[in-house]
């Protein structure tokens, strides 16, 4: 059995919440391109903005298996909400807790428990996507502060966030060891949010550019030492990939359930289409691949909890779950026919949301690079 | 097979390409965003003769062969698949139906107006409970005196919002089941006929798609098209050939997405070189190009077989099946090559990805094509 099976009761509770509180707003979030404001408070009450933080920071201290279950269940009903929760926890809260000083943890994580405080993660730039080491943003030290200039793109929760972790070059000699991380706060002079993206899917998630125009960042807002930025985000992304994999899994499960129900009830040629072998085989392939993706996601989650090296497994989990999600959401549309092309059924939205999972937090191509690199590194060749 | 195009075929193709490049390309994104084909554009399309491509010359049509027709649909689909489907439905379904099955009076009444694009026609076969199983219609047109009295609902009707005539398939003899269906021409101001709101769709958003409902709608019996109770035969024979149009549409979408992917792969630099220099990208492009070439050959061959009167039913379904799958494969990879940029509206591949999905659904789903292919295969191999 999978690592998540011992959490069946937990999953039931999570699912009930997602169905009653998140699902009803999914269509509207997509149509209006807005993250439902009431979600902020509801998720805050659940503690889901601090899923893996210790209680002393107001967190609920869940393990990665539980975290993955939450993201999966949110995404099963609303990809935009799953993405927003995953990005905040894995890429915002996670690195500050892992790499921040006690003072930084206090300032950014020990926040007022009555309201949601979102943290964004700014890594990608227009010219530095898969090649994240190609960062062109620059932070120049000037006494007790840095002067930051540059642009970040595809930043989740750009408008919603209060803080943003961003990477910039502190060493002009180039190379990945010249990249450092800084924690920015909304309201800093010169720090602005740019155009909101008009996306194919995950339209309820808040994606925009971040611009830095001579932003004065105090030295104490640097996260870790100078030059540690690249290493930090490589570690951060290893964890983030599990959550995007869980998002892909959730979307696939959501689409599969709609398709299976449709197949069992929609009649053509005098019987439910589920009685046709062509449809049965689709359902069988969809379900089998979902199970395999589930095994990878929860396997990687357990490895992370056991503090094993899970970098290759998280890349595999994300790669495979995203491709399964593509297959399953597409086949679900195939089962529904014209109904699958209409927003009257959620598979239309899930198919559009799906494509993000093959792109965000490392494209499928990058996952393959990570996996191949780990494989080749493990093989000792005699000279 | 020899595809040495005649001068006329080359002229048709080049004119369509120029229209698509100059007139459609600049506005395609806007048409998608506004979910609308402006009247002015429809008028221009009509003036160029595209709404009368398959109408006989004596009625003012261009009477081009199917290979020329496929070339035109392919070119227009490269820039605006929504306009292409309006042209395709008008020609291969509506005009073909009246040319082949209409009475002399019906031909002279409707064909000149259709050929001139003064009238746009809609084709009303699918119903909420009768999709792939087109024989399961519930819409009735019961003969009462000199009228058929319509009651029922048709779904996914293309161009309904501006159509002047509707070819409606309905039960005229409930005792005969599938052999009691007739095709009847209904004019837009028929009392008791009403149009639904435009359907929201994943893609092909600029194409007008609606439900059409009938409540005690009286239509004179002279509007019967072809023989009474032979409607299903009419529907299937039209769809058989009409699928060449969808195959060509899918081919055009695939080619356009591929062209965008190649030009992006050349200009986008990561890790110090254009991404087209990476083998992973090259192999993607090689696979995409090969499948496009196969789609092209299947589609053109299907058109040529139809023109020459040779057996073509299986071959047309194969062309539609493979081209539509290829369009989805290529559009997906094109988005992938674009990374995050492929997920936003500013880049055409985002639209191609959404538009491609319908080509596997309408005018017979992928599953329906396989049913047709298998049926012919079994007939061919019977001893």
Contacts of A330 in chain B (CB under 8 A): 328, 357
Say yes or no to pLDDT of B1 above 70. Answer: no
Contacts of B375 in chain A (CB under 8 A): none
Angle at B365 between CA A28 and CA B68, to 5 degrees: 110
The C-alpha atoms of residue A275 and residue A271 are separated, in whole angstroms, by 7
Q: Phi then psi for B102, rounded to 5 degrees?
A: -75, 155
> Is the minimum CB–CB distance between A159 and chain B shorter than 8 Å?
no
Q: Do B357 and A351 touch (CB under 8 A)?
A: yes
- Can you give the length of chain A in residues? 383
Say yes or no to pLDDT of B368 above 60. Answer: yes
Share the mean pLDDT of chain A: 96
Closest-approach residue (CA) in chain B for A326: B332
DSSP type of residue B223: G
Q: Report pLDDT for A81.
A: 98
Cβ–Cβ pairs < 8 A, chains A and B: 108
What confidence tier does A1 reach under pLDDT thresholds 50, 70, 90?
A: low
> Which one, of B209, B208, B212, lies nearest residue B188 by Cα?
B212
Say yes or no to pLDDT of A152 above 80. Answer: yes
Q: What tokens appear for B152 in the block? A: 């029922």
Of B133, B361, B366, nearest to A338 by CB-CB distance is: B361
Closest-approach residue (CA) in chain A for B202: A341
Residues 6+ apart with CB under 8 A from A330: A351, B328, B357
Contacts of B343 in chain A (CB under 8 A): 197, 199-201, 355-356, 359
pLDDT tens across A309-338, in order?
999 999 999 999 999 999 999 999 999 999
Please compute the mean of the pLDDT values over residues B284-291 and round it to a whole number.
98
pLDDT tens across A278-310, in order?
999 999 999 999 999 999 999 999 999 999 999
What confidence tier does A356 reach under pLDDT thresholds 50, 70, 90?
A: very high
Sign of the CA dihedral with A288 first, then A294, A297, and A300 last: negative
What confidence tier does A381 reach under pLDDT thresholds 50, 70, 90?
A: confident
What confidence tier does B361 reach under pLDDT thresholds 50, 70, 90?
A: very high
The C-alpha atoms of residue A16 and residue A22 are separated, in whole angstroms, by 10
Q: Report pLDDT for B131.
A: 83
Of B132, B280, B366, nearest to A365 by CB-CB distance is: B280
Q: Do B342 and A359 touch (CB under 8 A)?
A: yes
pLDDT tens across B307-324, in order?
999 999 999 999 999 999
DSSP, residue by residue, A9-26: HHHHHHHHHIIIIIGGGH
Q: Which of A200, A262, A357 to mutate to test the interface with B (most CBs of B within 10 A)?
A: A200
Of B201, B272, B336, nearest to A363 by CB-CB distance is: B336
- pTM more than 0.90: yes
Residues of B classed as catalytic: 363
Specify the higher pLDDT residue, B325 or B1.
B325
Q: Report pLDDT for B2.
A: 56
Q: Report pLDDT for A383.
A: 60
Closest-approach residue (CA) in chain A for B340: A359
pLDDT tens across A239-290, in order?
999 999 999 999 999 999 999 999 999 999 999 999 999 999 999 999 999 9
> Is the minimum CB–CB distance between A136 and chain B shorter than 8 Å?
no
The minimum CA-CA distance between A276 and chain B, rounded to whole Å, is: 11
Rounded to whole angstroms, what are the CA distances from B27 to B46, B199, B206? 18, 21, 11
> Is the minimum CB–CB distance between A153 and chain B shorter than 8 Å?
yes
Specify the higher pLDDT residue, A380 or A324.
A324
Q: Which of B270, B326, B351, B369 to mutate to test the interface with A (most CBs of A within 10 A)?
A: B270
ipTM value: 0.90
Give A 268-287 residues with CB within 8 A of chain B: 268-270, 278-279
**Burial group, residue A277, by CB count within 10 angstroms (0-12, 13-18, 19+):** exposed
pLDDT tens across B29-80, in order?
999 999 999 999 999 999 999 999 999 999 999 999 999 999 999 999 999 9
Q: Is B254 left (phi over 0), alpha (psi -120 to 50) or beta?
A: alpha
The C-alpha atoms of residue B46 and residue A123 are separated, in whole angstroms, by 50
> Which one, of B38, B19, B6, B3, lies nearest residue B252 by Cα?
B19
Residues 6+ apart with CB under 8 A from A8: none
pLDDT tens across B136-170, in order?
899 999 999 999 999 999 999 999 999 999 999 99
């Amino acid at each position: 059995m999978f690592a998540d099976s011992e959490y069946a009761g937990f999953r039931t509770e999570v699912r009930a919440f997602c169905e009653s509180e998140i699902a009803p707003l999914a269509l509207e979030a997509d149509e209006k391109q807005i993250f439902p404001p009431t979600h902020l408070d509801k998720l805050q009450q659940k503690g889901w903005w601090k899923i893996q933080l210790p209680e002393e920071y107001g967190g609920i201290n869940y393990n990665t298996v539980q975290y993955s279950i939450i993201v999966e269940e949110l995404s099963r009903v609303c990809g935009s909400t799953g993405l927003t929760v995953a990005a905040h926890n894995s890429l915002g809260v996670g690195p500050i807790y892992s790499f921040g000083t006690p003072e930084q943890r206090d300032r950014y994580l020990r926040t007022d428990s009555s309201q949601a405080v979102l943290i964004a993660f700014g890594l990608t730039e227009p010219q530095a996507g898969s090649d994240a080491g190609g960062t062109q943003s620059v932070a120049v030290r000037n006494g007790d502060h840095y002067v930051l200039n540059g642009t970040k793109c595809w930043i989740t929760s750009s408008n919603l966030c209060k803080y943003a972790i961003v990477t910039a070059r502190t060493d002009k000699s180039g190379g990945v060891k010249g990249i450092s991380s800084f924690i920015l706060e909304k309201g800093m002079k010169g720090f602005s949010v740019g155009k909101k993206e008009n996306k194919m899917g995950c339209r309820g998630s808040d994606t925009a550019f971040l611009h830095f125009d001579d932003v004065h960042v105090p030295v104490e807002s640097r996260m870790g030492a100078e030059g540690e930025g690249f290493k930090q985000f490589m570690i951060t992304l290893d964890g983030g990939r599990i959550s995007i994999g869980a998002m892909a899994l959730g979307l696939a499960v959501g689409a599969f359930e709609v398709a299976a129900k449709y197949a069992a009830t929609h009649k053509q040629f005098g019987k439910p289409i589920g009685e046709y072998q062509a449809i049965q085989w689709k359902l069988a392939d969809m379900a089998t691949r979902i199970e395999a993706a589930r095994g990878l996601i929860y396997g990687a989650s357990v490895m992370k909890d056991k503090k094993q090296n899970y970098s290759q497994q998280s890349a595999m989990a994300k790669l495979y779950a995203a491709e399964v999600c593509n297959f399953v959401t597409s086949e679900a549309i195939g089962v529904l026919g014209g109904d699958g092309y209409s927003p009257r059924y959620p598979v239309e939205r899930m198919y559009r949301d799906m494509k993000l999972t093959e792109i965000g937090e490392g494209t499928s191509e990058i996952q393959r690079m990570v996996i191949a690199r780990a494989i080749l590194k493990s093989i000792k060749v005699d000279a | 097979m020899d595809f040495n195009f005649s001068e006329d075929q080359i002229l048709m193709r080049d004119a369509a390409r120029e229209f698509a490049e100059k007139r459609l390309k600049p506005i395609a994104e806007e048409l998608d965003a506004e979910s609308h084909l402006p009247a002015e554009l429809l008028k221009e399309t009509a003036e160029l003769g595209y709404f009368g491509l398959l109408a006989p010359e004596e009625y003012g049509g261009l009477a081009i062969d199917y290979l020329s027709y496929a070339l035109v649909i392919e070119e227009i689909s490269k820039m605006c698949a929504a306009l292409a489907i309006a042209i395709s439905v008008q020609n291969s379904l509506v005009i073909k139906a009246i040319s082949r099955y209409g009475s002399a009076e019906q031909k002279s009444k409707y064909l000149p107006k259709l050929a001139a694009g003064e009238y746009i026609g809609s084709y009303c076969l699918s119903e909420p409970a009768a999709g792939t199983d087109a024989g399961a219609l519930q819409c009735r047109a019961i003969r009462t005196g000199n009228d058929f009295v319509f009651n029922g609902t048709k779904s996914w009707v293309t161009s309904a919002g501006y159509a002047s005539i509707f070819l409606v398939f309905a039960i005229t003899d409930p005792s005969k089941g599938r052999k009691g269906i007739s095709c009847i021409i209904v004019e837009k101001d028929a009392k008791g006929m009403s149009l639904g709101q435009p359907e929201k769709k994943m893609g092909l958003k600029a194409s007008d798609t609606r439900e059409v409902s009938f409540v005690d709608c009286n239509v004179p019996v002279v509007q019967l098209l072809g023989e009474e109770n032979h409607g299903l035969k009419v529907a299937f024979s039209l769809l058989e050939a009409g699928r060449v149009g969808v195959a060509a549409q899918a081919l055009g979408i695939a080619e356009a997405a591929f062209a965008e992917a190649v030009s992006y792969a050349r200009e986008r630099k990561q890790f110090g070189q254009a991404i087209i220099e990476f083998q992973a990208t090259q192999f993607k492009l090689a696979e995409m190009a090969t499948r496009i070439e196969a789609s092209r050959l299947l589609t053109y061959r299907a058109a040529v077989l139809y023109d020459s009167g040779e057996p073509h039913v299986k071959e047309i379904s194969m062309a539609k099946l493979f081209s539509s799958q290829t369009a989805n494969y290529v559009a997906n990879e094109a988005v992938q090559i674009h990374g995050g940029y492929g997920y936003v509206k500013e880049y055409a591949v985002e639209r191609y990805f959404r538009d491609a999905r319908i080509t596997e659904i309408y005018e017979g789903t992928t599953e329906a094509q396989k049913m047709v292919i298998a049926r012919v295969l079994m007939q061919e191999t019977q001893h």
